[in-house]
Amino acid sequence: MEKSLRVAIVDDLTEDSQRLADYLEQFQREHNMEIKMDVYNASFEFLEKYHGNYDVIFLDIEMPGSDGLEVAREIRTKDEAVGIIFVTGMAKYAVEGYAVHAIDFIVKPVGYYNFAVKLEKETGADIEFINLSGGVGIPYKPDQEPNDIAVIGEGVRKVYEEVLVPAGMGDVAIYTELGRFMMGPYGCLVTKAIHEKNTYKNYIGVDACAVNLMRPAMYGAYHHITVLGKENEPCDHKYDVTGSLCENNDKFAIDRMLPEIERGDYLVIHDAGAHGFSMGYNYNGKLKSAELLLKEDGSVQMIRRAETPKDYFATFDCFEIGKKLGE
Same domain, 130 and 157: yes
* Mean pLDDT score, 116-142: 80
Q: Are 167 and 117 in contact (CB under 8 A)?
A: yes
**Does residue 284 contact residue 245 with C-beta atoms inside 8 Å?**
yes
Range of the domain at 152: 3-181
**Same domain as 216, residue 191:** yes
Of the three residues 152, 181, 210, the one that is the final residue of a domain is 181
Half-sphere exposure of 297 (CA within 13 A, CB side): 2
Say whether both 154 and 257 belong to one domain.
no
For 250-285, give the DSSP string.
-EEEEEEEES---TT-EEEE-S-SSSSGGG---GGG
Write down the pLDDT at residue 225: 98
* Of the candidate ranges 48-52, 66-70, 159-163, 310-314, the one whose mean pLDDT is the lowest: 66-70
Q: What is the pLDDT of residue 31?
A: 64
Tell me whether residue 241 is in a domain: yes
pLDDT of residue 266: 98
Angle (CA) 59-253-70 rounded to 5° is 20
Cβ atoms of 203 and 263 closer than 8 Å: no
- CATH classification at residue 212: 2.40.37.10
Distance from C-alpha of 265 to C-alpha of 228, rounded to nearest angstrom: 7
Query: Are residue 64 and residue 169 in the same domain, yes or no?
Result: yes
Q: Does residue 246 have an active-site annotation?
A: yes
Of the three residues 155, 181, 207, the one that is the final residue of a domain is 181
Higher pLDDT, residue 142 or 102: 142
What is the model's pLDDT at position 179?
Answer: 87
0.75 exceeded by the pTM?
A: no
Burial of 85 (0-12, 13-18, 19+ CB in 10 A): middle
Predicted confidence (pLDDT) per residue in 218-275, tens digit: 888 999 999 999 999 999 999 999 999 999 999 999 999 999 999 999 999 999 999 8
Do 164 and 279 lie in a common domain? no
CATH number at residue 114: 3.40.50.2300
Q: Given a cut of 70, is residue 70 above it in pLDDT?
A: yes
* pLDDT for position 1: 44
Q: In this structure, are 9 and 121 located in the same domain?
A: yes
In angstroms, the CA 90 to CA 156 distance is 11
Instruction: Mean pLDDT check: name the lowest of 198-207, 238-247, 248-257, 279-288.
Output: 279-288
Residues 127, 35 within the same domain: yes
Instruction: Please tell me the predicted confidence (pLDDT) of residue 3.
Output: 66
The answer on 149 and 222 residing in a single domain is no
Rounded to whole angstroms, the Cα distance separating 25 from 13 reads 19
Average pLDDT over residues 291-312: 94
Q: What is the pLDDT of residues 150-164, one digit of tens each?
A: 888 888 888 899 889
256 and 143: one domain?
Answer: no
Q: Is residue 167 part of a domain?
A: yes
Question: Is residue 92 predicted with pLDDT exceeding 80?
Answer: no
- Residue with the bigger pLDDT between 230 and 42: it is 230
Kindly state whether residues 171 and 51 are assigned to the same domain. yes
Pairing of strands 33-40, 3-10: parallel
Q: How many domains does the chain have?
A: 2
Beta-bridge partners for 190: 268
DSSP H or E stretch at residue 304:
strand 300-304
In a shared domain, residues 17 and 165: yes
The catalytic position among 188, 209, 235, 246 is: 246
Tell me whether residue 83 is in a domain. Answer: yes
Domain-located, residue 315:
no
Q: Are 235 and 259 in contact (CB under 8 A)?
A: yes
Segment among 51-60, 168-177, 248-257, 302-311 with least mean pLDDT: 51-60
pLDDT of residue 114 exceeding 70, the answer is: yes
Q: Say if 314 falls within a structural domain.
A: no
Higher pLDDT: 135 or 174? It is 174
Determine the Cα–Cα distance for residues 11 and 9; give it in Å rounded to an integer: 6
What is the average pLDDT value for the chain, to the nearest integer?
Answer: 86
Single out the residue in 181, 197, 212 at which a domain terminates: 181
